[in-house]
Amino acid sequence: MKTIMLVCVAGMSTSLLVTKMQKAAQAQNMEADIFAIAENEVEKTMENKSIDVLLLGPQVRYLKSSFDKKLAGTGIPLDVISMSDYGMMNGENVLNQALHLMK
């Protein structure tokens, strides 16, 4: 089971993308826990849940350097979702991005 956390401003705008990613994971017969949260909930969530990869929504890409510091030494990969995949709500591409980061 892979755990993929998406981070956006309020955790709301990314929920449709999460749904599309879950469908893409099911199509690949993959068990995945994919969820979205607001950026101010990341630390609390990570205290209670182990994650395999963290993806930032393009609207919070400016937070990447601070998340790089927070995740230093954890081995958790971090990246920003491309604007085009986010805008098109391309769950398959974003899932593949997450899987590639976990290799």
Residue 57 is predicted with a pLDDT of: 96
Catalytic residues: 8
pLDDT digits (tens, 9 = 90+) for 73-95: 999 999 999 999 999 999 999 99
Residue 11 is predicted with a pLDDT of: 66
Residue 12 has pLDDT above 80, yes or no: no
Residue 6 has pLDDT above 90, yes or no: yes
Q: Stretch 37-66: mean pLDDT, rounded?
A: 95
Q: Give the burial string for 85-99 (b: 16+ CB within 10 Å, else e).
A: bbeeebbebbbebbb
> Is residue 14 within a helix (H) or strand (E), and if so which, with residue range?
none
Predicted model pTM: 0.94
Radius of gyration of the chain (CA): 12
**CB 30, CB 2: distance < 8 Å:** yes
Q: Stretch 28-49: mean pLDDT, rounded?
A: 94
Q: Stretch 40-51: mean pLDDT, rounded?
A: 94
Domain boundaries, the chain: 2-101
**CB 13, CB 37: distance < 8 Å:** no
Residue 58 is predicted with a pLDDT of: 96
Instruction: For domain 2-101, give the fold.
Output: Rossmann fold (3.40.50)
